[in-house]
């Protein structure tokens, strides 16, 4: 895994690096340390996992997370902070977890192992392909943000482009499997890209908002929470 640690206290960066190396002694992990959010963003490197302090001088952790999320929507963010009150904001940027200082080694290791499983799952998901007959091409399932029904056609939205094909939402739902949720008869969302949800809508990475049928709200919350807590595998 490619891992970044961002904290304005160099000693904390080193502590987290040591905990990672201790938890994953046999893993080929590359760990980069940054003492500011600005230096992380400026370098522009790809990371699978980012440990991010919230209360930093200059650009704070939340501002850094929002900017980083736009550039790398599929990376996992784990906030490491001494303050509990930012937990709800962490949800807004789809944080994978929220660890409080001082760090507890057992909890740290548990969360890191969960993150490692999720990184592997996302890599596997990106490798699975969906064949678009009308376009005579395939796209990675992990790149699909959501699918929208338009009569006999469907729009397949990725972060970069939208594909319009003739197709059935029922057929696509069956093909795409457990990482996708049918929140409305006209929408199928990739749960990896959910940033926020309300009683009748779901917000997605990239700014899109789709309808959530009110009668499905309870089922959706259960499915999504299970997805987050179990490395992306839903039991519903």
pLDDT tens digits along 79-125: 998 877 766 677 777 788 989 999 999 999 999 999 998 888 777 66
Is 85 exposed, middle or buried (CB count within 10 Å of its CB: 0-12, 13-18, 19+)?
A: exposed
Of 111-115, 122-126, 128-132, 167-171, the least confident = 122-126
What is the DSSP code (8-state) at residue 104? P
Between the two ends of the chain, the Cα-to-Cα distance in Å is: 30
Our measurement of the distance from residue 34's CA atom to the centroid of its chain's CA atoms, rounded to an integer in Å, reads 21
Domains of the chain: 2-125 (3.40.50.2300), 129-229 (2.40.50.1020)
pLDDT tens digits along 78-88: 999 887 776 66
């Amino acid at each position: 895994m490619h891992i970044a640690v961002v904290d304005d206290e160099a000693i904390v960066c080193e502590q987290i690096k040591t905990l990672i190396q201790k938890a994953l002694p046999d893993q080929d992990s590359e760990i980069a340390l940054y003492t500011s959010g600005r230096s992380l963003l400026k370098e522009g490197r790809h990371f699978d996992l980012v440990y991010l302090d919230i209360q930093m001088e200059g650009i704070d952790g939340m501002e850094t997370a929002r900017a980083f999320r736009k550039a790398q929507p599929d990376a996992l963010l784990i906030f490491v902070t001494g303050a509990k009150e930012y937990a709800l904001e962490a949800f807004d940027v789809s944080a994978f977890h929220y660890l409080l200082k001082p760090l507890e080694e057992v909890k740290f290791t548990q969360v890191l192992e969960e993150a490692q499983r999720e990184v592997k799952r996302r890599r596997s998901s990106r490798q699975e392909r969906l064949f678009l007959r009308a376009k005579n091409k395939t796209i990675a399932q992990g790149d699909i943000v959501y699918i929208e029904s338009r009569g006999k056609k469907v729009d397949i939205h990725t972060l970069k482009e939208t594909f319009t094909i003739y197709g059935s939402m029922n057929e696509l739902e069956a093909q795409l499997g457990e990482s996708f949720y049918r929140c409305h008869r006209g929408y199928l969302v990739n749960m990896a890209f959910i940033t926020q949800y309300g009683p009748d809508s779901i917000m997605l990475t990239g700014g899109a908002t789709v309808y959530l049928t009110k009668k499905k709200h309870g089922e959706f919350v259960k499915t999504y929470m299970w997805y987050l807590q179990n490395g992306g595998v839903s039991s519903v």
